[in-house]
């Protein structure tokens, strides 16, 4: 495995960061995960826009131009060949003596690596997954893809401890998103997902799902989801770059809809698979 670190491509064992890195000390950094199918990054422009947003909002200077990022990812992929993969890229504010306020002269630490994407298992596609509803203990700027993920880690672990795959987070009576995924439900035949605001991460998969559904005549509403509308939903899905569109068939131990991945999911899942197939063909 070859890692990109601060301008160099290194074997994983040789890629080292100082213990004074503010990512390590404060979680002072941001990241992106970009899925790659057939050698082609999916929605690269949108991922770079979101990275630029995360950097701007945390006041970390963008260390590379868009062309620079694209060239870096191309070279990193060529060093790490494989099938379906994802690029993980992280930028921290950099290395400096420990002090909360920004140091005056500091250079961001840039790291990128490639990980395999595991396909969704046949069992998941046939039966869906379980989720649990958990209070959202995160900060108030969930639109920033910050590496500071303690609340997400604890929520996901709580889900796993109760035999579920993902946690659905609730704040002020509203279901916002998963610990590492966006939330969709189907109610009265309409696909519903919360609007993008500071309470959730604007997922690239989320936007693509909305776009594919609308382009194919499926009704979509971007509207807030009260916690108490989860139990009556016909279908619940969770979307992310690496797990695509996960059908949730059990919520807090109770069946969602008929307890099977639903017909609207089947449709949107197929549209997403077609989209990926076209991307692969263009490679
Ligand atoms: N919300 C959160 C909190 C996430 O961590 C993620 C995935 N990293 C998502 C949503 C989904 O975003 P995307 O579709 O861009 O992977």
Q: Is the CB of 35 under 6 A from ligand 1?
A: no
Q: For position 13, what pLDDT does the model report? A: 97
CATH 3.20.10.10 in the chain is located at: 122-282
CA dist list (Å): 14 to 3, 73, 101: 9, 19, 30
Tell me if residue 231 falls in helix, strand or coil. coil
Q: Is the CB of 177 under 6 A from ligand 1?
A: yes
Best residue for ligand 1 mutational test, from 145, 176, 182 (most atoms within 8 Å of Cβ): 182
CA dist list (Å): 168 to 98, 129, 164: 35, 12, 11
Output the CA torsion 245→120→264→254 (10° steps).
Answer: -90
Give the residue, by CA position, lying nearest to ligand 1 atom 8.
180
Cβ neighbours around 73 below 10 Å, total: 21
What element of type H or E holds 99?
none
Best residue for ligand 1 mutational test, from 49, 134, 181 (most atoms within 8 Å of Cβ): 181
The closest-lying atom of ligand 1 relative to the alpha carbon of residue 152 is 3
Q: For position 179, what pLDDT does the model report? A: 98
Strand-strand pairing, 220-222 and 190-193: parallel
Give the Cα-Cα-Cα angle 268, 201, 195 (nearest 5 degrees): 65
pLDDT averaged per 10 residues, the chain (length 283): 98 98 98 96 98 98 98 98 96 98 96 96 97 98 98 98 98 98 98 98 98 98 98 97 98 98 98 95 78
Q: Is 233 exposed, middle or buried (0-12, 13-18, 19+ CB in 10 A)?
A: buried
Q: For position 45, what pLDDT does the model report? A: 98
CATH 3.30.470.10 in the chain is located at: 2-116
Looking at domain 122-282, its CATH class is: alpha beta
Q: Cα(103) to centroid of ligand 1, in Å?
A: 30
Q: What are phi and psi of 50, to 5 degrees?
A: -70, -40
Give the chain's end-to-end CA distance (angstroms, integer). 23
Give the Cα-Cα-Cα angle 86, 92, 98 (nearest 5 degrees): 150
Q: Cα(104) to centroid of ligand 1, in Å?
A: 32
Residue 108's closest CA among 127, 131, 89? 89
ipTM value, please give it: 0.99
**Site of tokens 């997922």:** 203
Q: Cα(4) to centroid of ligand 1, in Å?
A: 23
Q: Is the CB of 239 under 6 A from ligand 1?
A: yes
Q: Is the CB of 199 under 6 A from ligand 1?
A: no
Q: Cα(178) to centroid of ligand 1, in Å?
A: 8
Q: Is the CB of 176 under 6 A from ligand 1?
A: no
Q: Is the CB of 54 under 6 A from ligand 1?
A: no
Residue 175's closest CA among 237, 220, 129? 237
Give the residue, by CA position, lying nearest to ligand 1 atom 5.
180
Q: Is the CB of 180 under 6 A from ligand 1?
A: yes
Q: Which residues lie closer than 8 Å to 2 by C-beta, 6 or more apart?
A: 9, 10, 11, 12, 76, 79, 80, 114
DSSP E strand stretches across the chain: 2-5, 8-11, 29-37, 40-41, 85-92, 109-116, 129-135, 166-171, 174-178, 182-187, 190-193, 220-222, 225-226, 235-240, 244-251, 254-255
Q: Is the CB of 205 under 6 A from ligand 1?
A: yes
Q: Cα(136) to centroid of ligand 1, in Å?
A: 15
Q: For position 238, what pLDDT does the model report? A: 98
Q: Cα(49) to centroid of ligand 1, in Å?
A: 14
Topology of domain 2-116 in CATH is D-amino Acid Aminotransferase; Chain A, domain 1 (3.30.470)
Write out the catalytic residue numbers: 145
Q: For position 282, what pLDDT does the model report? A: 80
Cβ–Cβ under 8 Å, residues 237 and 185: yes
Q: Is the CB of 193 under 6 A from ligand 1?
A: no
What element of type H or E holds 123?
helix 122-127
Strand-strand pairing, 225-226 and 220-222: unpaired
């Amino acid at each position: 495995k070859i890692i990109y670190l601060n301008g160099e491509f290194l074997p994983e064992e040789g890629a080292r960061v100082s213990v004074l890195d503010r990512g390590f000390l404060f979680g002072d950094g941001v990241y992106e995960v970009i899925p790659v199918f057939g050698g082609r990054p999916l929605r690269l422009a949108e991922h770079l826009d979101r990275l630029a947003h995360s950097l701007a909002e945390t006041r970390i200077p963008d260390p590379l131009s868009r062309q620079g990022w694209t060239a870096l990812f191309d070279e990193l992929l060529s060093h790490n060949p494989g099938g379906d993969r994802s690029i993980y890229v992280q930028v921290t504010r950099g290395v400096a003596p420990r002090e909360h306020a920004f140091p005056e002269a500091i250079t961001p630490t840039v790291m990128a690596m490639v990980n395999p994407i595991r396909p969704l298992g046949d069992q998941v596609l046939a039966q869906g997954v379980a989720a649990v509803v958990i209070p959202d203990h995160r900060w108030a700027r969930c639109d920033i893809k910050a590496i500071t993920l303690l609340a997400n880690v604890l929520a996901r672990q709580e889900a796993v401890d109760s035999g579920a795959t993902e946690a659905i987070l609730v704040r002020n009576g509203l279901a916002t998103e998963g610990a590492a995924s966006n939330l969709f439900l189907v109610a009265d035949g309409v696909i519903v997902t919360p609007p993008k605001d500071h309470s959730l991460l604007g997922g690239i998969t989320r936007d693509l799902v909305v776009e594919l559904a609308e382009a194919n005549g499926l009704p979509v509403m971007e509207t807030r989801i009260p916690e108490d509308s989860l139990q009556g939903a016909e279908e619940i899905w969770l979307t992310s770059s690496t797990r695509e569109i996960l059908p949730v068939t059990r919520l807090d131990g109770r069946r969602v809809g008929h307890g099977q991945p639903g017909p609207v999911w089947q449709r949107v899942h197929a549209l997403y698979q077609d989209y990926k197939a076209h991307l692969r063909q263009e490679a």
